[in-house]
Structure 1
Amino acid sequence: MSNEFILGIINFFTSALAGITGLGGGTILLGFMPMFLTASAIIPVHGSAQLASNVSRIWFGRHQMDFTYVHPFAVGAVAGMLVFGTMVQFIHLELIPLFIAIYILLTQWSKTINRLLKSFENFYLIGFLQTGIGLFVGAPGPLHMPLLMKKYEDNDVIVTTGSLMMTIVHVFKLVIYAILGFQFLAYWQVIVLMAISASLGSWAGVKLRHKIPMAWLKTALPYILTIIALKIIHDNAVKFGWLGAMF
């Protein structure tokens, strides 16, 4: 229970961070989760926590919601669920933490990958990729945010509408893992705790959104995520005996 409590605290702060900025929180949380959960539980438990976090942000910001671009995103998400959902069953779940770590490093330091991700100007395609990639790495990053920032000037509308899009992604992700046989009831305590901490974090983030300057986050976030990713890689190298084989 102590690990679950610590994870709940981390979830509170990452959810608050996402409530303030609309990005970063889910990826940071995902980076910490391999330290507390088995590999097979990371994606579905993370999806449950992020679903609660995004739904609560939608509720707290419901008056700033805009549905104009949600429909094409949802259509793409359905396609992503169907295409990638047939592939995830062939993946060795013990490798999920490594997928997460490598994806974090690529998105933070590869200019080519970042240019590619930011070049998507179509919500159908973004929904497809965000849902599909999310089945393997949990939080594919805010692919939808750059385009939303082009469409809207109001940050409240951006965060709330983006949260609705991510809600769609997490619902479809949980559906796939339920079909694959993941036993959500076996993790009900940590899921409930994280749902509560995510909702409280979202509430705090919405209240603090216009009071705390977060410009420093764009500079600090790559380094925070890199440290987390390297820790995941190191832990898995020790777990699988790769360090011993190399030296």
Structure 2
Amino acid sequence: MLELLSPLAAGVNLALVLLSVATSALSAAAGIGGGTLLIIAMAQVMPATALIPVHGMVQLGSNGGRAAMTWRHVRRDIVAAFLPGVIVGAVVAAWLLIRLPYGVLELCIAAFVLYSCWGPGLPQRAVGRTGTVIAGALTTLLSSFVGASGPMVASFIKLGMSERLPRVATFATCMTLQHTTKAFIFGFAGFVFRDWLGLMLAMVVAGFVGTWLGLRLLNRVTDHRFDFFFKWTLTLLALRLIWLGVARLLGLG
């Protein structure tokens, strides 16, 4: 039954469904991190052509569920300013989208993850209507090519609010808008979602379960401890992804 979910092996499909539970719980409890961890894990086992569109649809379901469960806490002013940028970024992405050489996508994702973990944060002046529109456009464009723009969106949202629950709710809503555009962008580019529909639906349902669990752990996770373990987990996975990307570029994998 599991082998019918996607072109991947049954065991891999099962692992990805279980990972969707864990990463959705992580995002709900800590406010960030699940989507990035999910895409870097998916990149180890999925073909590059399917990676970003499948990840985008799974994250659409996961973030959409989280936004629905926390809608009372959403900062609507931030979302309203973010939306025009999302539209602009999606239009530009649809125009630029091309088939990347085998191995390049893995290297791009790894580089982005390492920068998100260890690079400088956004300046305080990024907060404001103009900054929000620009952030929406740039992160949507980036998301269409490396998949996980969550750390940059979360860094931007964190500047404007200190309470974790409004941050989780607003982040989930902004990411829902961003991932919605991928259905149009990759459909326009010719990606056949039907071949991966079973896996996407199973991972979305699993994501709802993970979100429900994560929201109940929301106040039990300390920021310092989470940041330490999360950064090093992503760093190790990114280093493995660099090795995989280089091997594929050289025709060794």
Q: 1:15 to 1:64 in 2, by over 3 A?
A: same
Mapped contact 1:98–1:233 kept (Cα < 8 A): yes
Aligned partner of 2:179: which letter? H
- Runs of 4+ more than 6 Å apart: none
Mapped contact 1:7–1:36 kept (Cα < 8 A): no
1:82 paired with 2:74, answer no
1:54 paired with 2:55, answer no
CA distance in 2 between partners of 1:100 and 1:128 (Å): 19
Displacement of 1:159 after TM fit? 0.7
Matched residue, 2:141? 132
Q: 1:17 to 1:99 in 2, by over 3 A?
A: same
Q: 1:117 to 1:239 in 2, by over 3 A?
A: farther
Structure 1 SS opposite 2:244: helix
Structure 2 SS opposite 1:220: helix
Map 1:59-208 onto structure 2 (within 5 A). Answer: 59-89=68-98, 91-92=100-101, 94-110=103-119, 114-115=120-121, 120-121=126-127, 122-208=131-217
Which of the residues 192, 209, 230 maps onto 2:239? 230
1:28 paired with 2:2, answer no
Q: 1:189 to 1:207 in 2, by over 3 A?
A: same
CA distance in 2 between partners of 1:84 and 1:158 (Å): 27
Q: What residue ranges of structure 1 are gaps of 5+ in the alignment?
A: none
Structure 2 SS opposite 1:181: coil
CA distance in 2 between partners of 1:83 and 1:8 (Å): 32
Displacement of 1:99 after TM fit? 1.1
CA distance in 2 between partners of 1:89 and 1:205 (Å): 36
Q: Deviations over 1:76-103 (max 9, x none)?
A: 1111111222111253365222211121
Aligned partner of 2:197: which letter? W
Displacement of 1:214 after TM fit? 4.7
Q: 1:175 to 1:20 in 2, by over 3 A?
A: same
Q: Deviations over 1:114-164 (max 9, x none)?
A: 245776331101101110000110012332333433433432111111110
Displacement of 1:233 after TM fit? 1.6
Mapped contact 2:90–2:141 kept (Cα < 8 A): yes
CA distance in 2 between partners of 1:4 and 1:99 (Å): 24
Mapped contact 1:4–1:36 kept (Cα < 8 A): no
Which of the residues 6, 15, 20 maps onto 1:11? 20
Mapped contact 1:131–1:173 kept (Cα < 8 A): no
Aligned partner of 1:104: which letter? V
CA distance in 1 between partners of 2:24 and 2:117 (Å): 20
Structure 2 SS opposite 1:17: helix
CA distance in 1 between partners of 2:154 and 2:116 (Å): 14
Structure 1 SS opposite 2:32: coil
Q: What residue ranges of structure 2 are gaps of 5+ in the alignment?
A: 1-9
Alignment RMSD, CA only? Answer: 2.1
